[in-house]
Amino acid sequence: SHFNPLAKSPIPAYGLMQVVPTSAGVDVNRFLYDIDEPMSGPYLYVTDNNIEAGTAYLHLLNERYLRHIEDPLNRKYCTIAAYNTGAGNVARVFNSDGSRNIKKASRVINSMSPELVLKTLQSRLPYDETKRYLDKVLSKEALYIQ
């Protein structure tokens, strides 16, 4: 989004945190509001709504969908990638049969070092955009920790 609260990607993803209404938006609506429908673009253009949706989705990825990944660093790498491409696509990277089964992928990930998990994500993620996103977030992380 380049910090543009009115950003809209071709997917489309909306706002600062680039929330996709029909995937993350549905999951967040279910989680926060018990509503089974997508979020609207205009709703996601409201900065507070967008940040709430984006952070709730990060919570869902980290604490629910990827909860079986034991090492915190491995889970962080997978959560960052999943925020961009979805948890199922992250699972496909680690499942030899290419399935989107997250629990199965977690068993593989749990047998790997964080260095190997990161290297595997960087080499096997199906989309260059997600590889760039992962690298960008990790490279900027130190700036935000200060």
Residue 46, classed as helix, strand or coil, is coil
**pTM greater than 0.75:** yes
Residue 14, classed as helix, strand or coil, is strand
- The boundaries of every CATH 1.10.530.10 domain in the chain are 1-65, 70-146
Contact in structure between 121 and 81 (CB atoms under 8 Å)? yes
- Report the topology of domain 70-146: Lysozyme (1.10.530)
CATH 1.10.530.10 for domain 1-65:
yes
Environment class of 10 (CB within 10 Å of its CB; exposed 0-12, middle 13-18, buried 19+): exposed
Per residue of the chain (146 residues), give pLDDT as tens: 889 999 999 999 999 999 999 999 999 999 999 999 999 999 999 999 999 999 999 999 999 999 999 999 999 999 999 999 999 999 999 999 999 999 999 999 999 999 999 999 999 999 999 999 999 999 999 888 87
